[in-house]
Structure 1
Amino acid sequence: MSVDDTDRRLLRQYQADPGLPLAELARRATMTEATASRRLDRLRARGILKGVGAVIDWRRLGWEVEVSLRITLDKTDPRAFDEFIAAARHVPEVLEIQTFLGRVDVRLNVIARDMAHYQEVYRTRLLTLPHIADLEALMHVAEIKRGEALPL
């Protein structure tokens, strides 16, 4: 799905500050309010603009530990992926689930309040997920760059 330069200009301004009133967004994107409104509606209808949400800093809420788990599944059971993912969705501390082609099948991004909490989550919720053949935990040390804005 292609977008033109006007759409890109509008999206750049919108992703920089999605809380702007339409009039200000249109001014910054150098178009009329009516044009901005029509284009935003069209971008939503095409599924390019999926919505606006809150970005919550979970660290400021007392969650101090972040771990990436790289998991290889026992693929001898054809239901392994579906059953694993269905179970992982129910672990509240799992923020993200990604699947891959290659040696690693799934990556879970997990948060915990502290190391004791992580150890509890790991033992009681993560290790009990079905079809795990191999698991590697990578402790996050620092976030260097987070790409929340697209290079439009």
Structure 2
Amino acid sequence: MLDDSDRRLLRHLQSDPAQPVTALAQAVGMPLATCYKRLDRLQTQGVLRGQGYAIHWPALGYTVEVSLRITLDKTNPRAFDEFLSAARDVPEVIEIQTFLGRVDARLAVIARSMSHYQEIYRDRILTLPHIADIEALMHVATVKNQQTVPL
């Protein structure tokens, strides 16, 4: 379980994940050694999964984002595994989610232009195995993308 000190640490990390541990320890009011120990424990427990950078795809020329809702032909018992394995190999697929319900999977696909997307769709997506139906949703705007949780 998390105690109040852990929650304070996590709140400060969410607000500025790149801050040095010395600044974090000072901000939450704990000794540096204690802060390191708590961070290590939170990583060991799987609460913290490391630090990284978020890449802004449009800055690299990827201006088109499409969400594909996929329904699979589940008559083959290996349909999910074979589809997911092949979808992982498409470089422009940046996210894969699976669901229970009418839609089996969602792929987030990025492209440099609509013509580039059409090429990806025809040459890579439509060749994925076991697809019964696809619904494409063109990304227009991100209204909320909150990466923090209430602590």
Note the residue ranges of structure 2 that are not aligned, 5 or more in a row. none
Matches within 5 A, 1:52-63: 52-63=51-62
Q: Determine helix, strand or coil for the equivalent of 1:78.
A: coil
The C-alpha deviation readout for 1:52-92, integer Å capped at 9, x for no partner, is 01111011111100000000000000000000000000000
Provide the rounded CA distance (Å) in 2 between the counterparts of 1:84 and 1:29.
Answer: 46
RMSD: 0.8
Gap regions ≥5 residues in structure 1: none
Give, in angstroms, the shift of residue 34 of structure 1: 1.4
How many percent identity over aligned positions? 65
Structure 1 Cα separation of the partners of residues 18 and 145 of structure 2? 20
Q: 1:15: Cα distance to partner?
A: 2.1
Determine the C-alpha separation between the residues in 1 that align with 2:119 and 2:87.
15
Q: Which residue identity lines up with residue 73 of structure 1 in the other structure? A: L
Q: Aligned partner of 1:57: which letter?
A: H
Task: For residue 136 of structure 1, report the CA deviation from its aligned partner.
Answer: 0.2
Look up the SS of the partner of 1:124 in the other structure: helix
Name the structure 2 match of 1:143: 142
Count of paired positions:
151
1:80 equivalent in alignment to 2:79: yes
The TM-score, its normalising length taken from structure 1, stands at: 0.97
State the 4+ residue runs in structure 1 displaced beyond 4 angstroms.
none
Superposed counterparts of 1:14-33, under 5 Å: 14-33=13-32
